[in-house]
């Protein structure tokens, strides 16, 4: 029996894996100590749990354990990376240049806009028709005062994966730090911090079947250690970078979600990619006028973003009631403007508005995919049908 609506919005958030929930539960009640309390066993137990989770996360992404700085999520991690590097330079009066791209997440674009208003020079690179950043465009845009390049690993709307290693090699050759928002990639494609060449990396738990409200900024140590300014003060937690009482249950859940991802990422990715292809092939067999948004091959296994010709975008979203999907990023769903990502790849406003983002995840089934094909097909055919008027 299929439960309606079918959840196909796993880029917005994922269901918490039952194994993750079980790992978290004791830390809400039985093991409730503060990880910063060093004078009694309750604090010791909490601190040990935090460090165990930190190690699980670091192992999953091949990073040193001490490089993991816990935050409230990826938005805070992105802000800490971008503002933490640029703000001190602006305050000291240095000429400062920041680079990102037109399809980046708003959690990077909006801080970049704020820094621009504060006096930073900001370059927003274009992307190609698939949403990829050309490494050569990064090389061409780097200046003597470039303080940071921020390029996401995988796009949250269209699933396109960027050539981060090539971009990182260029940045390293020019001695420019690279920040990578790896939120959508973690648990879905390989994320290898040490071998990526990145200096800063943002990740979060709720995109890989962990809890909401916990993320991390990975900060490379050594090699010209980056000096980040904290976003706020008070307590000096997380090596003076992120003050605040650590949410032990959430951190434990983050670690467990990463451990599970390490064990089953390849199998998950293969199965989810086959479901995505089943959805795409099923829709193509029933409908014409479909436009695939994003790279045809270099994309996240569970992502399918489609624009539908001849359909009103508002009507499409209003009628697709039996499946849970979105028309863009969940973080910008309150914004009536068309997706900045789809605009960046050259889609016209009508196709941009008449688009659906399907995010397939660990708990989806073939029956649910077949149901989605039939439901979307019926909706689109209905919306395309000419109005029948009575004479």
Q: What is the SS3 assignment for 218?
A: strand
Q: Which secondary-structure segment (H or E) carries 140?
A: helix 135-141
Query: Token match 């769903």: residue?
Result: 333
**Pairing state between β 355-359 and 303-308:** antiparallel
Torsions phi, psi for 283 (to 5 deg): -70, -40
Cβ count within 10 A of residue 281: 11
Nearest alpha carbon to residue 184 among 4, 11, 50: 11
Distance between CA atoms of 46 and 382, rounded to whole angstroms?
Answer: 56
Which residues of the chain form beta strands (DSSP E)?
6-7, 68-71, 97-101, 121-125, 146-150, 178-181, 200-204, 215-219, 290-293, 303-308, 323-324, 355-359
For 270: left if phi > 0, alpha if psi spans -120 to 50, otherwise beta; the answer is: alpha
52 part of the active site: no
Catalytic residue chosen out of the listed positions 16, 52, 319, 331: 331
- Active site residues per annotation: 331
């Amino acid at each position: 029996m299929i439960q309606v609506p079918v959840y196909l919005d796993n880029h917005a958030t994922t269901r918490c894996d039952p194994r993750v929930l079980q790992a978290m539960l004791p830390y809400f009640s039985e093991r409730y100590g503060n990880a910063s309390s060093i004078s009694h066993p309750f604090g010791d137990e909490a601190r040990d749990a935090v460090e165990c989770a930190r190690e699980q996360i670091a192992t999953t992404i091949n990073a040193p354990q001490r490089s993991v700085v816990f935050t409230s999520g990826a938005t805070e991690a992105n802000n800490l990376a971008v503002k933490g590097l640029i703000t001190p330079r602006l305050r000291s009066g240095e000429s400062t240049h920041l680079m990102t791209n037109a399809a980046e997440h708003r959690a990077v674009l909006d801080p970049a806009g704020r820094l621009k208003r504060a006096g930073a020079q900001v370059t927003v690179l274009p992307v190609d028709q698939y949403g990829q950043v050309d490494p050569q465009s990064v090389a061409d845009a780097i200046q003597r005062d470039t303080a940071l390049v921020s390029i996401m690993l995988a796009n949250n709307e269209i699933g396109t994966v960027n050539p981060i290693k090539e971009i990182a090699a260029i940045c390293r050759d020019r001695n420019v730090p690279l920040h990578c928002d790896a939120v959508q990639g973690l648990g879905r494609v390989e994320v290898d911090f040490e071998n990526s060449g990145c200096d800063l990396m943002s990740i979060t738990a709720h995109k890989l079947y962990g809890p909401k409200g916990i993320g991390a900024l990975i900060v490379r140590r050594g090699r010209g250690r980056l000096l980040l300014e904290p976003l706020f003060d008070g307590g000096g937690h997380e090596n003076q970078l992120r003050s605040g009482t650590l949410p032990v249950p959430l951190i434990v859940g983050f670690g467990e979600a990463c451990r599970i991802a390490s064990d089953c990422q390849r199998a998950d990715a293969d199965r989810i990619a086959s479901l995505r292809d089943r959805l795409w092939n099923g829709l193509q067999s029933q409908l014409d006028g479909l436009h695939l948004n994003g790279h045809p091959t270099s994309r996240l296994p569970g992502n399918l973003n489609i624009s539908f010709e001849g359909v009103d975008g508002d009507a499409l979203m209003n009628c697709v009631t039996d499946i849970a999907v979105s028309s863009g990023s969940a973080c910008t769903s309150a914004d009536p403007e068309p997706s900045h990502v789809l605009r960046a790849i050259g889609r016209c406003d009508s196709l941009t508005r008449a688009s659906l983002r399907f995010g397939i995840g660990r708990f989806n089934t073939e029956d649910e995919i077949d149901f989605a094909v039939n439901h979307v097909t019926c909706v689109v055919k209905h919306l395309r049908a000419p109005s029948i008027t009575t004479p």
